[in-house]
Chain A
Amino acid sequence: MREQQENAAVLRVRGLNVDYQTKKGAAKALKDIDFAIHAGERVGLVGESGCGKSTLLKTIMGVLPKNGDVTSGRIELDGVNLLEVDDETRRKARWAEVAMITQSALNALNPVRRVGDQIIEAVRAHRPIDKQEANALVHRLFEMVGVAPERARDYPHQFSGGMRQRAVIAMALALSPKMIVADEPTTALDVIVQDQIFARLRELQAENQFALILVTHDLALVAENCQRVMVMYAGTLVESGPTEEVIAAPKHPYTIGLINAVSVLGSDKQPISIPGSPPDLMEKIDGCRFAQRCPLATSICKDQMPEAVVIASPGGERMVRCHHWQQAEDFALRASNPDVWQSVSAV
């Protein structure tokens, strides 16, 4: 079973470390990232702003800014390490293999070029396509995402926010990639449009069987849409596993805090936020990156980075990076008391 899964991995990231070089020194944006995405799977990647989600996506897409350095690790797409191939092979792999649905569809579309042309441009970068075929393709893609095909000749500013997001999804589908990465695709939209777009995205995913990574800070969205979830904190993956299991029985104190921080409509449960803020990535951190804010932290947490522990579970495998994960169940019961969290930041 495990062997099979290993083979079916579309994307496998191993021991990935990324630094940003700044004038004050290197900021460790990603630390020892390990994960695999399997064909046709929907995976959520959650974490607060600045935890490295976008850096991870940029590294996968190969568009890190100039001061971003991959210091070690591998990004394997169908077994080929993308970090080792030449620029031309890398360029060709973009979009054809892994496409992206960007965060802000307004800024991602070039304002002075027609929406349809911008979609065709992605195709043309990979294979020749004549005008007739191009028009037919755009027509089909627009129908797939639910935008009137004749709007393909419009400019982005003539589209509503929801339509722009749909156009960006159409663009991602243009080359039938094996994997689509969606970076907070609906943050800028209202809840109703968000639901419609996700419903469509799930249908498209079922039809086309691409793997989907959904990057968001919204746990509820992951719960609704993803089979698996990965939780990221300060540049490390702290926990991952089947979404239902992780949400029902989180094993990392940060995940517990994150679930506590979600407000539930119609419930009198008060959301509790985690006091404090993520560590300064410029500083050298030997131990667990969450230790400063963690009620379970002991001296070992401050000195030693916890190894990833893999736990067999009914829905597949779970991973947790915590010295005290075995106390998680007990801690989860106490965690709904805000004082438990406050006591840490007071120290």
Chain B
Amino acid sequence: MSSFWLRRLWHSALTLFTMLTLMFFMFRMLPGDPTATVISPALYPKAQEALKIQFGLDKPLWEQYLRYLGNLATLDFGLSFHTGRPVAEEIGGRLLNTILLVFPSMIAAYVLGSFVGAILGWKRGSKTEAILVFVSTALQSAPVFWLSMIAILFFSIKLDLFPVGHIVTPGMFPDEDWRMYFSLDFLHHLALPFLINTIYNFCFPFLLMRSSILATVGEEYIELARMKGLTEKAVLYRHAMRNSLLPIATTLPMTLGWAVAGSVVIETVFSWPGLGLLMVEAVGHSDFPMVQAAFLLIAALTVAGTLMADLLYSILDPRIVNH
């Protein structure tokens, strides 16, 4: 634990604080009165006034801001305008659904992408390489919702292999409690969005690893490793791939934060009740506390991801910490 880490932690905290503050004032600068959804203009002015006092909206902005910070510190995100239940409770379950969909597929995509990219880059010039580079570039430019819709059309509707959407068959788990996550039905529903998300996210690490390996192949330490009598496999995995992992390791944790944000699209198409779908619904309902909390969560995840990337990088590349 060096000054490097203290500095990195301090930067993360500062970034997060800036985000919180921007978020608070941005929502209050938006056109329209967000309170209109809760405090109906049709109410008697006296009742409106009473409600405003109840929500603390009569206080000056700086006092509201301080209160907002205080509430956040105790993880109190307020009540949803739409359901009236605590935001933290609503988001908790939804976040789990998103994580179950996004994280495993991201990790699968990165592991697969790295290995395939490394092996194909190592044996430069194969036909498989040419085809896969073309397909990956094409896939990467295709919108994920289009990809999802094609997949649903083909696998779900035409072949009837997978359900069209949702996390479990509606009505099968009326309470939607933990038991549903351990059911085959859940896995059946997870399969298609998982597959799409994996394929879509495979392209980036694949192309990155391939070009990273291509840049490493000519390095002198690779030649020396070969001269030392290491097997081709050992040269590839222990030297070429080991060193080419650096750019991948930095992008993976950062992408995890974005992936949660990016899940909006895939969750909407597959009606997956995750954070992304929740945000879309909340925006539709003008449910400001909910949207604000969701945004904060994504910001926090991104900052945490960046910090994790730095941590990983310093483990993988000893040259970093010493500076």
Q: B227 contacts A95, CB within 8 Å?
A: yes
Would you give the shortest CB distance from B220 to chain A, in whole angstroms?
4
Answer whether residue B175 sits at the interface, using C-beta atoms and an 8 A cutoff: no
Cβ 8 A contact of B243, one of A63, A91, A110:
A110
Q: Mark A73-117, 1 if CB is under 8 A from B, else 0.
A: 000000000000000000111111001101010011111110000
Q: B318 contacts A126, CB within 8 Å?
A: no
Q: Which residues from 245 to 282 on chain A have a C-beta closer than 8 Å to any C-beta of chain B?
A: none
Q: B227 contacts A94, CB within 8 Å?
A: yes
Answer whether residue B226 sits at the interface, using C-beta atoms and an 8 A cutoff: yes
Would you give the shortest CB distance from B31 to chain A, in whole angstroms?
53
Q: Mark B212-235, 1 if CB is under 8 A from A, else 0.
A: 000000011101111111110010
Cβ 8 A contact of B229, one of A92, A104, A109:
A92
Once bound together, how far apart are the Cα atoms of A104 and B221, in whole Å? Answer: 10
Once bound together, how far apart are the Cα atoms of A109 and B319, in whole Å? Answer: 13
Q: Chain A: which residue is nearest B229 at the CB level?
A: A94
Would you give the shortest CB distance from B186 to chain A, in whole angstroms?
41
Answer whether residue B238 sits at the interface, using C-beta atoms and an 8 A cutoff: yes
Chain A residues contacting B239 (CB-CB under 8 Å) are: 110
- State the interface size on chain A (CB cutoff 8 A): 27
Answer whether residue B317 sits at the interface, using C-beta atoms and an 8 A cutoff: yes
Once bound together, how far apart are the Cα atoms of A93 and B230, in whole Å? Answer: 11
Would you give the shortest CB distance from B229 to chain A, in whole angstroms?
4
Q: A125 contacts B224, CB within 8 Å?
A: no
Cβ 8 A contact of B231, one of A91, A93, A107:
A91
Q: Chain A: which residue is nearest B228 at the CB level?
A: A122
Answer whether residue B242 sits at the interface, using C-beta atoms and an 8 A cutoff: yes
Q: Chain A: which residue is nearest B219 at the CB level?
A: A107
Answer whether residue B100 sits at the interface, using C-beta atoms and an 8 A cutoff: no
Once bound together, how far apart are the Cα atoms of A91 and B233, in whole Å? Answer: 12
Cβ 8 A contact of A112, one of B227, B230, B243:
B243
Question: Which residues of B approach A to under 8 Å, CB–CB?
Answer: 219-221, 223-231, 234, 238-239, 242-243, 246, 316-319, 322
- Sampled A-B contacts (15; CB under 8 Å): A63-B226, A91-B230, A91-B231, A100-B224, A104-B220, A110-B221, A111-B317, A111-B319, A121-B225, A121-B228, A122-B228, A122-B230, A125-B231, A157-B318, A171-B228
